């Protein structure tokens, strides 16, 4: 088993909770604020220690570039004392449709909406996605979701407060943070240039299409 300090365990649990609740790992600033650190640098030092111990993987240059590593297979011996083999890379791949423009009133996974298909590593995501959605606009810029990114989405018709959702509102499909208070649903942007969208519970032209479980970015 990994030998972590109490603080490292606390940060690892915080990362797991953020991924489970929102589909995304926390930023360094969010970790620092949650645990009372004076700066994000203190959070970074603990993250680097967790990476050295093999608990997480850090992608440089991204604010949420933290991926949990499942140590179970490599740490658990079988009855002969040998380590269990990891799955073959091809077994771990998913084939996901990329959804582009969505026509009003038609299912989001309708064939006419599929622009392409991608083979992706299933270990990139905390939950198995059903499709990729091409992000349009910068309303979620401040949590690192940019125009042109591919959002990995798991089909769902309900959400918890704070989760990043794909929602249909009239003729539009949008990516926002979900918040429900009583009968009022708010779709919150992560960019001060955009205003929240407010929806009455049961509104006919509103539907949740899924939960964000990860993000892919095409460089070049």
Active site (catalytic) residues: 139, 176
Alpha carbon 198 to chain centroid distance? 23
Q: What angle do the packed helices 6-22 and 28-35 form, to 10 degrees?
A: 120
Neighbour count for residue 114 (Cβ, 10 Å): 15
Strand positions, DSSP E, the chain? 56-58, 66-68, 93-99, 114-121, 131-134, 150-155, 164-169, 172-181, 184-188, 197-200, 206-216
Strand, coil or helix: 166: strand
Neighbour count for residue 157 (Cβ, 10 Å): 9
Which DSSP state fits 80? T
């Amino acid at each position: 088993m990994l030998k972590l300090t109490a603080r490292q365990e606390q940060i690892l649990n915080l990362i797991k909770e953020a991924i489970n609740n929102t589909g995304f790992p926390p930023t360094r600033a969010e970790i620092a604020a949650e645990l009372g650190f004076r700066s994000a640098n203190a959070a970074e030092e603990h993250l680097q220690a967790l990476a050295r111990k093999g608990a997480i993987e850090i992608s440089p240059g991204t604010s949420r570039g933290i991926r949990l590593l499942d140590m179970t297979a490599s740490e658990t011996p079988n009855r002969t004392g040998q380590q269990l083999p990891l799955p073959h890379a091809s077994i771990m791949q998913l084939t996901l449709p990329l959804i582009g423009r969505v026509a009003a009133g038609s299912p989001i996974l309708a064939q006419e909406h599929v622009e392409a298909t991608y083979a992706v590593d299933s270990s990139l995501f905390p939950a198995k996605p059903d499709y990729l959605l091409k992000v349009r606009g910068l309303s979620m810029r401040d949590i690192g979701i940019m125009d042109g990114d591919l959002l990995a989405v798991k089909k769902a018709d309900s959400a918890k407060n704070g989760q990043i959702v794909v929602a249909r509102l009239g003729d539009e499909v949008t990516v926002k943070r979900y918040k429900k208070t009583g009968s009022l649903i708010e779709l919150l942007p992560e960019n001060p240039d955009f205003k929240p969208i407010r929806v009455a519970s049961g509104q006919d032209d509103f539907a949740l299409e899924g939960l964000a479980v990860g993000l892919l970015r095409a460089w070049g």
